[in-house]
Amino acid sequence: MSNAAEITMYGHDRCSDCLRSERLLKALNVTYTKVDVHADLAAADKVIEISGGNLSVPLICFPDGTHLTEPSDPVLKAKLVSLHII
């Protein structure tokens, strides 16, 4: 089983997609680290780098080195299943 603690979600509290993804992760009892891109400018730069020039959130990074940007709930859940996190 993958270490769910290695999941990092970049976002901010005024982002409705971020809040939706957080609700899903919490409902599925998935442990993750939340990084606020408004409070941490280095994190914002990292999101821009990963996303190819865009500050698109939520950006969710997984232990296998992949990431999802603004995923729908079904896409996020399928990713967690594929990594054996849920």
The residue behind tokens 């599925």 is: 28
- Domains of the chain by range and CATH? 4-82 (3.40.30.10)
pLDDT of residue 1: 42
Q: Which is it for strands 67-69 and 8-11: parallel, antiparallel or unpaired? A: unpaired
80 to 39, 45, 77, 85: CA distances (angstroms): 27, 26, 5, 5
- Average pLDDT of the segment spanning 75-85: 97
53-71: burial string, b at 16+ Cβ within 10 Å, e else: eeebbbbbbbeeeebbbbb
pLDDT in tens, 15-52: 999 999 999 999 999 999 999 999 999 999 999 999 99
CB 12 within 8 A of CB 37: yes
Mean pLDDT of the chain: 93
pTM comes to 0.91
